[in-house]
Amino acid sequence: MRVREPASGEVIDEALGLWFPAPASETGEDVAELQLHGGYAVVAGVLKALGTVEGCRMAEPGEFTRRAFENGKLDLTAVEGLGDLIAAETAAQRRQAFRQLKGLIGNRAEAWRQRLIEAQALVEARIDFSDEADVPEDLIAPAAKVVRSLRNEIAAVLTDRGRGERLRDGLVVAIAGPPNAGKSTLLNRLARRDAAIVSPFAGTTRDVIEVHLELDGCPVTVLDTAGIRESAEPVEQEGVRRARARAAEADLVLWVTDVSAAGRTSAKQPPLKSDAPQWLVENKIDLLEHGACSQTHAGSRRPPEKSELEFVFSISAERGEGLDALFGALAAFARDFFAAGETVLVTRARHRADLEQTVAALDRALAETARSRREELIAEELRAASSALGRLTGRLDVEDVLDEIFREFCIGK
Ligand code: GDP
> Average pLDDT by consecutive 10-residue portion of the chain (413 residues)?
91 95 92 91 92 86 80 86 83 87 91 93 79 67 92 91 81 87 88 59 59 82 69 65 75 89 54 77 84 52 59 89 91 83 78 93 93 85 92 66 40 31
- Find the helix or strand (DSSP H, E) in which 17 lies: strand 16-20
Q: What is the pLDDT of residues 298-342, one digit of tens each?
A: 566 665 555 566 788 999 999 989 999 999 999 899 888 887 656
Among candidate residues 281, 266, 275, the one with its CA nearest the CA of residue 224: 281
Q: Which residues pair with residue 300 across a beta bridge?
A: 313
Q: Is 182 in the pocket of ligand 1 (CB under 6 A)?
A: yes
Q: Is 225 in the pocket of ligand 1 (CB under 6 A)?
A: no
Q: How far apart are CA 323 and CA 327, in angstroms?
A: 6
Contacts of 397 (CB under 8 A, 6+ apart): 390
Q: Whose Cα sits closest to atom 18 in ligand 1?
A: 182
- Find the helix or strand (DSSP H, E) in which 301 lies: strand 299-301
Q: Are 348 and 168 in contact (CB under 8 A)?
A: yes
Q: Is 283 in the pocket of ligand 1 (CB under 6 A)?
A: yes
Among candidate residues 263, 249, 250, the one with its CA nearest the CA of residue 178: 263
Q: Is 318 in the pocket of ligand 1 (CB under 6 A)?
A: yes
Using the mean position of ligand 1's atoms as its centre, give its distance from the Cα of residue 29 in Å. Answer: 61
* Alpha-carbon distances, residue 281 vs 48, 254, 298, 313, 367 (angstroms): 62, 6, 11, 5, 51
Task: Write the single-letter amino acid at 365.
Answer: A
Q: How far apart are CA 35 and CA 28, in angstroms?
A: 20
Q: Is 248 in the pocket of ligand 1 (CB under 6 A)?
A: no
Using the mean position of ligand 1's atoms as its centre, give its distance from the Cα of residue 278 in Å. Answer: 20
Q: Whose Cα sits closest to atom 10 in ligand 1?
A: 180
Using the mean position of ligand 1's atoms as its centre, give its distance from the Cα of residue 181 in Å. Answer: 6
Q: Whose Cα sits closest to atom 25 in ligand 1?
A: 284
Q: Are 366 and 148 in contact (CB under 8 A)?
A: yes
Using the mean position of ligand 1's atoms as its centre, give its distance from the Cα of residue 185 in Å. Answer: 6
Q: Is 167 in the pocket of ligand 1 (CB under 6 A)?
A: no
